[in-house]
A and B are shown apart, each in its own frame.
Chain A
C-alpha cells in the first residue's frame, strides 16, 4: 500500500532563516506530487505541483520554491523565511481516476511551521 511521509512534524524558525521541508511517497511510481499551505482558520492553498522529476509548476508567486530530485521525493524550500510563511504545510500525491474523471489525492500528516 502507499504511504506518504513528511518531516519535520513541527518547526520553529526565525525570520530570514532558510527552510527545507521534505516529503516522500512509498508504494507508487511516478506520482503527481503537491505542496499546499493552510494558514490558521483558512482553506488550502496550492503552492506547487509536479508531474515528474525536475518538473515543477508554481501556482502562487512567493519566496518559496520546490524541487523534485527523485521520483518520490518532493522538497519545499525558502532562502529567507517571512512571518507570513507560518502555517501548516501539507504534501499530497494523486492517482488518475479511470475514464478521465480527474484525480484522487492522498495527504501526508503535515508540517506545522511557525516563523518568529
Chain B
C-alpha cells in the first residue's frame, strides 16, 4: 500500500524568503515521488520527480526536493519565493503496488506569497 501526507494545508511566506512544503510518504516498494503545481483554473504541471537517481532533485522555477528514505520525506524547497509561486502544490507517490492507477496524490498545500 502507498500513501502520502502533506503536512500543511496552507503555507504563507513573504516574497524573497525561503519556501518549505512538507510531504511524507509510505510505500511497500521502491517509490517514485513527484511534486506538481497548479495555478488557479489551470491543469497540474510537473515540477520535479525522484525516480531512484540523485536524492536531491532540481526542478523548474528554482524548486528542489530531497528524497530522505530514513525519514520517508520528500519536502519541496525554494530559496527565495516569488509572487508567481502562489499556487496549489501536490505531492504524489507512485510505485508498482499502488492503487488501481498506481499513483496516490496528497491533498495539496496552498502556498500564499505575501508582498
Contact = CB atoms under 8 A, between A and B. Distances in A.
Interface stretch (A12-20, A42-50, A66-74, A78-86): A42-50
Contact of A109 (B29, B42, B107): B42
Interface stretch (B12-20, B62-70, B77-85, B88-96): B88-96
Contacts of B31: 101-102
Given A102-B32, A102-B94, 19 more contacts: A43-B90, A59-B101, A94-B103, A97-B94, A100-B29, A101-B32, A102-B31, A102-B96, A102-B98, A102-B103, A103-B102, A104-B94, A105-B34, A105-B46, A105-B92, A107-B44, A107-B45, A110-B42, A112-B41
Interface string A14-47: 0000000000000000001010000000111010
A97 B45 contact: no
Interface residues of A, number: 29
Contacts of B101: 32, 34, 46, 49, 59, 94, 103
Contacts of B30: 99, 101
Query: Considering residues A42, A59, A105, A110, which has the most beta carbons from chain B within 10 angstroms of its beta carbon?
Result: A105
A7 interface: no
A52 interface: no
A97 B32 CA distance: 9
Contacts of B36: 107
Interface of A: 6, 32, 34, 42-44, 46, 49, 57, 59, 88, 90, 92, 94, 97-110, 112
Given A101-B52, A107-B44, A57 B100 contact: yes
Contacts of A49: 100-101
